[in-house]
Amino acid sequence: MWMIVIVSIVAGILSMLLVPWLIIQVPADYFSYPDRREHLWSEQHPVVRMAAIGLKNVIGYILIAAGIAMLVLPGQGLLTIFVGFLLIDFPYKFKTERWLIGRTAIFKAANWIRAKAGKSPLKK
């Protein structure tokens, strides 16, 4: 029982710190392009590129799992799942991201967080 309480507290604290920071890092015009832009690491050495993409995917899957848990535990479940999806690579990722940010609740919450940080709102 104590383990569930501790995991819940740690997940809540991490989501309150990590999710807003990641939402702030997304460029405001990221969702306004009809097609996906080039990868950040496309010009790096293949080993560096694959290691960075692998690490990004692992972090993304951890965030998705934590977000699903936060749907029933304290924390920002939907936003955490959204940020996890932003990090992982899968077919039709960009279309899925645009669909997710099109959900009114996620869009408003993300822009509220960006406004608190003094960043411009996301554009669809």
Task: Give the number of other CB atoms < 10 A from CB of residue 3.
Answer: 7
| Alpha-carbon distances, residue 45 vs 36, 48, 51, 87 (angstroms) | 21, 5, 10, 20
DSSP 8-state code for residue 92: T
Decide: residue 53, CB within 10 A, 0-12 exposed, 13-18 middle, 19+ buried. Answer: middle
pLDDT of 40 strictly over 70: no
Q: What is the pLDDT of residue 36?
A: 66
Q: How far is CA 64 from CA 14, 43, 53, 120, in A?
A: 13, 28, 16, 26
The mean pLDDT of the chain is 81
108 pLDDT tier (thresholds 50, 70, 90): very high
- Rounded to whole angstroms, the Cα distance separating 51 from 53 reads 6
* Of the candidates 123, 103, 113, the residue with the CA atom closest to the CA atom of residue 18: 113
Q: How confident is the model at residue 38 (pLDDT cuts 50, 70, 90)?
A: low
The DSSP output letter for 80 is: H
Element (H, E) at 67: helix 46-70
Furthest-apart CA atoms within the chain: distance in Å: 48
Give the per-residue pLDDT at 41. Answer: 63
Q: How far apart are CA 77 and CA 86, in angstroms?
A: 14
